[in-house]
A and B are shown apart, each in its own frame.
Chain A
């Protein structure tokens, strides 16, 4: 393998996981954009998506060729619907009553919810790692020494399609426009007849659904999931959101991809044992020198 090929290979590997980070980062950034809350429970929502996917899979034990595509679609649907609903419910019962409370109260509540979810997952699925089914096992595309597995292609394209759909929703539909308006100036939005409670619910629904989809992809990619995976991956996705500028939707996409690629390169050239260190090194450096991120959200205050 030549130098260039190694580099490209690591970039592709990084891009794959970066897309997953980006999907999760979107949930952080959308919620922050609208109610200025760092939803620490989002990492757990993400991994819950993986468990929902696994639960659906266990209903279809025999995987014939046809069946597998069908199962996969069903897994994604279940994870997205389940997590979307979970996000809406959490907002309704835990965050909405605190809308006027100091921000710290919400933050601590979010951390509390995160612990509750983690423990519920452990109670239901047990404390040991669960193996996640492999799809598209041996199919890969090889260009020279480069190897792109079908799985990687699938993750990258599916995430891209979801991001494009989100972009369409936010820029073209009235509800999406209301979402942007509400995150810019909630009082003005209310004065225009926008029911902001509904808009906030929609924001949690979409952010959590994307996180759930990311959960299934994560499970497919690494083949094992555990109840505490949400924490680490969640913090990484949060780093990605900060990297792109928290509150900024395209920023979260870029930040996720950038973080994934940096991690991939770090793992490839130094050691994969150090990849988490890179993510957090980036977070620390970012918070020190560049706290507003790559794409700073334009704010008028």
Chain B
């Protein structure tokens, strides 16, 4: 499956945040979106998920145009987001959070197996399944947020800053799982402040600056780019 976004423009009121973005995400690959704070990375993901309306532009899934559809319809077509700041349902238990991830396919008999699958990816969640999500540590909440999104059986997973505020050891664990998910054939659009890792893992990457894509290319090649090194890798 290939998700194509073309000439996407999004704004809040009169302020235009995205000024015509074109990008492509395909199944089984990691695509990275890097850029400074306020460049419009989260806005891009929220627009793809159907939370923010397009002012202009189009979205194509496997060559079929999708227009103005509700967020739940986007999810049921296999595009699922893990939002920035994790946003797990704090007052609900770990298990309930996972069940809600599969909300759109309640009649599916495989939901239970999928929960087991998430527990295999993140064993700590299985130990904590009856605990309220708000009592989990930051890293565990991130694992839950990813697990919850996986419950929707995504073909394309949108990840917004999954490593934000987490200890390096936890980040490593989460990145390992992302590689596993990718290997299973899921396409990942990764927004990451940890640009080094993102670019290393990404088959293709886009650099976003104030609402425009200023650079794109293979992840490893961008890693060599002096401009990128200066701006995002602190060199």
CB of A191 within 8 A of CB of B51, answer: yes
Which residues 282-297 of A sit at the B interface, judged by CB distance below 8 A?
Answer: none
Q: How many residues of B contact A (CB 8 A)?
A: 28
- Bound-state Cα–Cα, A199 to B22, Å: 34
CB of B76 within 8 A of CB of A193, answer: yes
CB neighbours (8 Å) of B5 from chain A are none
Q: Sample 18 A-B pairs with CB under 8 A, ordered by A number.
A: A177-B92, A180-B91, A180-B92, A185-B87, A185-B89, A187-B51, A187-B87, A188-B83, A188-B88, A188-B89, A189-B89, A189-B100, A191-B80, A191-B87, A193-B72, A193-B76, A193-B103, A298-B91
Say yes or no: A194-B100 contact (C-beta < 8 A), given A180-B91, A298-B90.
Answer: yes
- Bound-state Cα–Cα, A300 to B92, Å: 13
Q: Residues of A at under 8 Å CB distance from B?
A: 174, 177-178, 180-181, 184-185, 187-195, 298, 300
How many A-B contacts if CB must be within 8 Å? 70
CB neighbours (8 Å) of B50 from chain A are 190
CB neighbours (8 Å) of A192 from chain B are 75, 80, 100-101, 103, 148-149, 152
Cβ proximity bits B144-155 to A, threshold 8 Å, 1 near / 0 not:
000011001000
Check if B20 is an interface residue, CB within 8 A of chain A.
no
Chain A residue with minimal CB distance to B45? Answer: A191
CB neighbours (8 Å) of A185 from chain B are 87, 89
CB of B49 within 8 A of CB of A191, answer: yes
Check if B99 is an interface residue, CB within 8 A of chain A.
yes
Which residues 80-127 of B sit at the A interface, judged by CB distance below 8 A?
Answer: 80-81, 83, 87-92, 96, 99-101, 103-104, 106
CB of A178 within 8 A of CB of B103, answer: yes
Closest CB-CB distance, B96 to chain A, in whole Å? 5
Which residues 192-207 of B sit at the A interface, judged by CB distance below 8 A?
Answer: none
Say yes or no: A193-B89 contact (C-beta < 8 A), given A177-B100, A188-B83, A298-B134.
Answer: no
Closest CB-CB distance, A100 to chain B, in whole Å? 11
